[in-house]
Amino acid sequence: MNSKQLNFFLVPEDLSFVYEFFNRHEVKYVRVGKSEREEIALESFPYRHGKTYEQICLTSESFRSNIFLQKGRIIPDITVDIDKSYVLQFTPGGFYPASSRVLHGGGFYCTTDYFVSNGESVAKNNEFKSWVDKFFKSFKKEFLSTLNAKERIFFSHRTIEWMQETGAVVDVAFTKITL
């Protein structure tokens, strides 16, 4: 299975700007109905159906017909099949309720192909892959930078300011920033 991802650090103050960015680029979040009919709704931002730090699926209206659902293995809820669906997973990261001293990393992730039951690989179409590439490029340009040219760790401008003001440091695995 092949995939694309972009990892970064955002502070909570970034989210309203990120949501504006999503709306400008006509990016919607996928909401799965709780009824027996397994309804799929594509919603504009701000995100209103859960906690701000939760992982959500993003897509474009043009990929609606390529969103597939599955029944959970452990919890029998109906969820988006992220392997088959033309969606981009978004995890904003941020401060989780357990600690206001640890900023967790976030990111985008999607598969570009997946395996079916006979072991054959099925590729997602080039339109979706191109959409993801353009989205990543636009998001990086608007929100992200690195601390130095050698590293490929991305931070929002507000995160860099927060780190400089507080002395917070990135852990060696690059998954969190701690005060």
C-beta separation of 94 from 53 below 8 A: yes
Looking at every residue in the chain, the average pLDDT score rounds to 91
Name the region of 12 (left: φ>0; alpha: ψ -120 to 50; beta: rest): alpha
Of 84, 138, 72, whose CA–CA distance to 111 is shortest? 84
Q: Of residues 137 and 32, which shows the higher confidence score? A: 137
For 14-37, the pLDDT digits (tens) are 999 999 999 999 999 999 876 556
59 confidence band (pLDDT: 50, 70, 90): very high
For 69-103, the pLDDT digits (tens) are 988 767 667 889 999 999 999 999 999 887 889 99
118 confidence band (pLDDT: 50, 70, 90): confident
User: What per-residue confidence (pLDDT) applies to 99?
Assistant: 83
Of 105-114, 147-156, 161-170, the range with the lowest mean pLDDT is 147-156
Which letter does DSSP use for residue 125 in this model?
A: P
117 confidence band (pLDDT: 50, 70, 90): confident
DSSP reduced 3-state for 161: helix
C-beta separation of 55 from 89 below 8 A: yes
Q: Of residues 59 and 96, which shows the higher confidence score? A: 59
Q: How far apart are CA 30 and CA 167, in angstroms?
A: 37
Q: How far apart are CA 157 and CA 165, in angstroms?
A: 12
Of 101, 176, 166, 56, whose CA–CA distance to 158 is shortest? 166
Q: Taking the alpha carbons of 149, 152, 153, 159 in that order, is the dihedral positive or negative?
A: positive
User: What per-residue confidence (pLDDT) applies to 38?
Assistant: 67
User: What is the pTM for the complete model shown?
Assistant: 0.91
CA distances from 156 to 5, 25, 98, 139, 148 (A): 16, 19, 23, 10, 14
User: What per-residue confidence (pLDDT) applies to 79?
Assistant: 87
User: What per-residue confidence (pLDDT) applies to 51?
Assistant: 83
C-beta separation of 69 from 19 below 8 A: no
C-beta separation of 16 from 63 below 8 A: no
167 confidence band (pLDDT: 50, 70, 90): very high
